Amino acid sequence: MKVLVSGGAGYIGSHTVRELKNSGYDVVVLDTLELGHAEAVAGTRLIKGSITDAALVEEVFMEEKPQAVMDFAAYKAAGESVGNPLKYFHNNVGGPVNLLEAMVRHEVPYYIFSSSCSVFGTPHNLPASETNNPFGPESPYGESKLTVEKMLGWVDKAYNLRYAALRYFNAAGASLDGTIGEDWTHTYNLVPLVLKAALGLTPSVKVFGTDYPTPDGSAVRDYIHVVDLAQAHVKALEYLMRTNTSNAFNLGTGQGSSVKEVIDTAIRVSQRDIQVELVGRRPGDPAAIWADASKAERELGWKAQYDLETIIQTAWNWHSQHPHGFDQE
């Protein structure tokens, strides 16, 4: 079975490409390489281009004849999306429209969508399940993900095109063998920022808020290993083929870790001192978010395997050996 993976040379996409190939799937990647790296999918057919290019998307479907699509080709910086919402809607909504139109024309039945817990905004109830919180995106990025999810429901009804919307919590870590990982050039995620400070590439890491109603006063998030996420995508495709039923799933570990816990773990793993700068809360940052992933465990047969220690250890292995990402100096 051939799977088209858009955005497959990026962080989560490249780990998923590896899991798909390990599971016996034929894979073709479509990626602009704006934020992805050809080296991350070495040995895999790679087509350079954007899903916003409808003519190119049609050409890819004509030539490659995929039988399923996994879509990772979104911009994902929530802060940037507030200042440039049209960039996000053009790519994150317009691109999936092009993919789905091609899938309908070529009768491709399965679509795995890279969604986000940002569709909920700040959850009112924790742990956050698929149904115990209203949708309430707080950025154009989150709104773009929710827009596609809503669109998929209508597409399913009209064309019998089955989808799985996978709502990630906080992806982190790197491949277990240390050969691929996150490009931290453009990242604002906590784990790479902490490890940058551990390597002395930045003077310190900022802790935004120390007075939250959490055990240690710092914000709590659900950090999930990128390999666990990648494996969930394979499970989701198998679910669609087995059940022929569309669905949405929250993907997390089911427990939260505080900013201070992440820093303490990074100090222990790296055996480096990490300078910390305590600053005030950022507007819009919730005190705590973590997932109820029991639906994914029940219906996909998937459960996160890797803990925070493994997340930090694999990220440290990658970043300490590749401080300049895939482009070594």
Question: Is it the case that residue 312 has pLDDT exceeding 50?
Answer: yes
Residues 214 and 132 in one domain: no
Residue 187 or residue 77, greater confidence: 77
Whether 150 shows a pLDDT value over 50: the answer reads yes
Q: Is the pLDDT of residue 284 over 80?
A: no
63 and 203 together in one domain: no
Average pLDDT over residues 63-76: 98
Instruction: Flag whether 75 is in a domain.
Output: yes
List b or e across 186-195, with b for residues whose CB sees 16 or more CB atoms inside 10 angstroms: ebebbbbbbb
Structural domain for 40, as ranges: 2-172+222-251
Domain boundary among 232, 251, 270: 251
Kindly state whether residue 182 falls inside one of the protein's structural domains: no
| DSSP helix/strand/coil, 246 | coil
Q: Which two tokens stand for residue 116?
A: 């986000």
Residues 236, 87 within the same domain: yes
Residue 327 pLDDT exceeds 90: no
**CB within 8 A of 145, min separation 6: which ones?**
74, 92, 115, 116, 118, 119, 137
Candidate from 14-28, 176-190, 307-321 with smallest mean pLDDT: 176-190
Shared-domain flag, residues 263 and 242 = no
Name the domain boundary from 204, 236, 251.
251
181 lies in some domain: no
203 and 69 inside one domain = no
pLDDT at 186 over 90: no
User: Residue 324: is its pLDDT beyond 90?
Assistant: no
Summarised one tens digit per residue, pLDDT across range 25-63 is 999 999 999 999 999 999 999 999 999 999 999 999 999
Residues 230 and 259 both lie in one domain: no
Is 115 in the same domain as 246? yes
Query: Mean pLDDT over residues 116-122, rounded?
Result: 94
Q: Helix, strand, or coil here: 8?
A: coil
Final residue in a domain of this structure, among 251, 266, 299 = 251
Number of domains in the chain: 2
Average pLDDT over residues 266-288: 93
> What CATH number did the domain enclosing 271 receive?
3.90.25.10
- The pLDDT-based confidence of 315 (bands split at 50, 70, 90) is very high
Instruction: Out of 11, 141, 168, 239, pick the active-site residue.
Output: 141
Is pTM beyond 0.85? Reply is yes
- Residue 295's contacts (CB-CB under 8 Å, 6 or more residues apart) are 129, 130, 249, 250
DSSP state of 288: B
Domain contains 155: yes
Cα-based distances in Å from 237 to 31, 38, 197, 246, 321:
20, 24, 38, 10, 33
Residue 327 lies in a domain: no
Q: What is the mean pLDDT of the chain?
A: 96
User: Do 71 and 155 belong to one domain?
Assistant: yes
228: in domain: yes
Does one domain contain both 116 and 196?
no
Is residue 262 included in any domain, yes or no? Answer: yes
Would residue 11 show up in a list of annotated catalytic residues for this protein? no
Same domain, 243 and 285: no
Q: What is the pLDDT of residue 254?
A: 96
pLDDT at 171 over 50: yes
Residues 36 and 106 in one domain: yes
Q: What is the pLDDT of residues 13-31, one digit of tens each?
A: 999 999 999 999 999 999 9
The domain that contains 48 carries what CATH number? 3.40.50.720
Is 162 part of a structural domain of the chain?
A: yes
CA 301 to chain centroid: 20
- In a shared domain, residues 215 and 226: no
Grade residue 329 by pLDDT with cuts at 50, 70 and 90: very low
